[in-house]
Structure 1
Amino acid sequence: MISKKALYAIRALMSLARVAPEAMNTGEIVLANDLPRKFLEAILLDLKRARITVSERGREGGHRLARAPGEINLADIIRAIDGPLAMLPCASVTSYRPCDDCPDVENCQIRRALAKGRDALAEVLESTTLADLVERPDMAPAGVFV
Structure 2
Amino acid sequence: MRISERVDNAVRAMASLASSDGSSVKAEVIATTHDISLKYLLDILRDLKRAELIRSKRGPDGGFTLSRPASDITLADVFRAIDGPLADVHDKSLRDLSYAAPAEALPQVWMAIRGSLRRVLETVSVADLVSGELPSYVVELAAEYERDTRSRHG
Q: Which category of TM-score, normalised to the shorter sequence, fits these structures?
A: 0.7 to 0.9
1:128 aligns with 2:129: no
Letter in 1 for 2:37: P
Which runs of structure 2 are paired with 1:69-88 in the superposition (5 Å)?
A: 69-88=70-89
Task: Tell me the residue number matched to 1:116.
Answer: 112
**Runs of 5+ consecutive residues of structure 2 not aligned to the other structure:** 143-154
Residues 34, 137 of structure 1: alpha-carbon distance in 2 compared, 3 angstrom cutoff: farther
Give the C-alpha shift of residue 31 in structure 1. Answer: 1.4
Distance 2:84 2:111 in 1: 16
Give the C-alpha shift of residue 120 in structure 1. Answer: 1.2
Give the C-alpha shift of residue 54 in structure 1. Answer: 0.5
SS of structure 2 residue aligned to 1:19: coil
Larger-Rg structure: 2
Structural RMSD (CA):
2.4
**Cα contact 2:99–2:106 (8 A) shared by 1:** no
**Cα contact 1:20–1:69 (8 A) shared by 2:** no
**Cα contact 1:47–1:81 (8 A) shared by 2:** yes
Kindly tell me the number of residue pairs found equivalent between the two proteins: 133
**Runs of 5+ consecutive residues of structure 1 not aligned to the other structure:** 142-146
Task: Tell me the residue number matched to 1:22.
Answer: 23
**Cα contact 1:91–1:114 (8 A) shared by 2:** no
1:90 aligns with 2:92: yes
TM superposition outliers: structure 1 runs of 4+ over 2 Å: 89-92, 137-141
Distance 1:20 1:91 in 2: 39
TM-score, normalised to structure 2's length? 0.77
Q: Identity over aligned residues, as a percent? A: 35
SS of structure 1 residue aligned to 2:12: helix
TM-score, normalised to structure 1's length? 0.81
